[in-house]
Chains A and B, each alone.
Chain A
């Protein structure tokens, strides 16, 4: 425990306390009867455009953005950039599909993608299959988040053996589960605001501060081995494009995203039901330009830091 970075540790503890408080306090936010499933699971469908915008942002830019893609970029180079066109490609799909999905679910009171499938196709087994697929598909994702928390805790300098090494992870997840249980979707929605602000701070730090520290983009990119600077073979290039398209379609099936979109609700604006999710998605597209930052520069920056010995200054 002697090599704890106390400044980072203090920031971590403060943020963790804030998020824990926010998660539990969220139960009273736009108060509703949390025993009702749509109140618990969709925040009573009363989230406005801004909250939905934050929530969708919190769904899209996640441990995958911050850990998996940068790690791939660090190890494999340019191939990891599939993530950028992938996100460019997915927004129009969401833009076209989600408003309609939202409209149908709003009208019939569907809460999950499974409800929608059962209502639309009248087949319970298909709905079950969709739901089970959603849960299973979320598993690797949760595993990634666990790894992410472990990395963060490790970076703070906290280490141990056996149960002690897993303790911070267990505490974090128990708290997370507890406030999600007590507050429902209101918890992730309120936390998404904090999360998005943190993402902004990180993105600007990566775009502005890190290149200054490392001596500019030219220096950063020149430190990347030539074989990793671009995509390797013609075959890989074509496959890459196809893969991104498939990825973009797969994103529709991932369970958190439809839930966020469903939570949007404006009964008083029923005449224009396609508005809210569409507007949010359009707005996120603008923001993506900046958010793309982390994916972009973690890899070259770290590599540049390592090779030129600047890393210690970070």
Chain B
């Protein structure tokens, strides 16, 4: 395979993405009303919370792979 090596580099940091897949793609985990938060049922605020957690995980992966990339590439 004639791939640009710096593009296809695998990083173990990518495994962090798996976490959010598990927690949002298994509805029995959160398909309930209690505990509600400020009048919002669990089902709803749990998903919104995972938007934020997912963003944080993505940021971690981004900065981790970015640092690795620049140190290895330059």
Chain A residues with a Cβ under 8 A of chain B: 78, 81, 84-85, 87-89, 91-92, 95-96, 99-100, 103, 216-222, 229-231, 234, 237-238, 240-241, 244-245, 271-275, 278-279, 281-282, 285-286, 288-289, 292, 296
Contacts and interface: CB of A to CB of B under 8 A. Distances in A.
A241 B27 contact: yes
Contact of A100 (B7, B50, B62): B7
B1 interface: no
24 contacts: A84-B24, A88-B47, A88-B50, A92-B17, A95-B17, A96-B14, A96-B17, A103-B7, A218-B39, A220-B39, A221-B41, A231-B43, A234-B28, A237-B28, A240-B27, A241-B27, A272-B73, A279-B62, A282-B55, A286-B59, A288-B51, A289-B52, A292-B48, A292-B51
Nearest to A237: B27
Contact of B58 (A92, A218, A274): A92
Chain B interface mostly: helix
Given A216-B39, A286-B55, A85 B50 contact: yes
Contact of A85 (B17, B25, B38): B25
B55 A84 contact: no
A272 B70 contact: yes
Contacts of A286: 55, 59
A217 B33 contact: no
Nearest to A83: B47
B25 A221 contact: no
A219 B43 CA distance: 16
B68 to A, nearest CB: 12
Contacts of B51: 84, 87-88, 285, 288-289, 292
B55 A95 contact: no
B54 A91 contact: yes
A95 B57 CA distance: 12
A247 B27 CA distance: 16
A280 B74 CA distance: 23
A271 B73 CA distance: 8
A229 B39 CA distance: 13
B73 to A, nearest CB: 7
Given A237-B31, A288-B51, 10 more contacts: A91-B58, A96-B17, A217-B39, A221-B40, A221-B41, A272-B73, A282-B55, A285-B51, A289-B52, A289-B55
Nearest to A95: B58
A63 B55 CA distance: 23
Contacts of A278: 62
A103 B4 contact: yes
Contacts of A241: 25-27
A52 B26 CA distance: 33
A96 B73 CA distance: 18
A229 B58 contact: no
Contacts of A87: 51
Contacts of B55: 282, 285-286, 288-289
Contact of B20 (A89, A234, A275): A89
Contacts of A296: 44, 48
A229 B43 CA distance: 9
Contacts of B24: 84-85, 88-89, 244
Contact of A289 (B7, B36, B48): B48
Nearest to A245: B25
A144 B41 CA distance: 30
A230 B69 contact: no
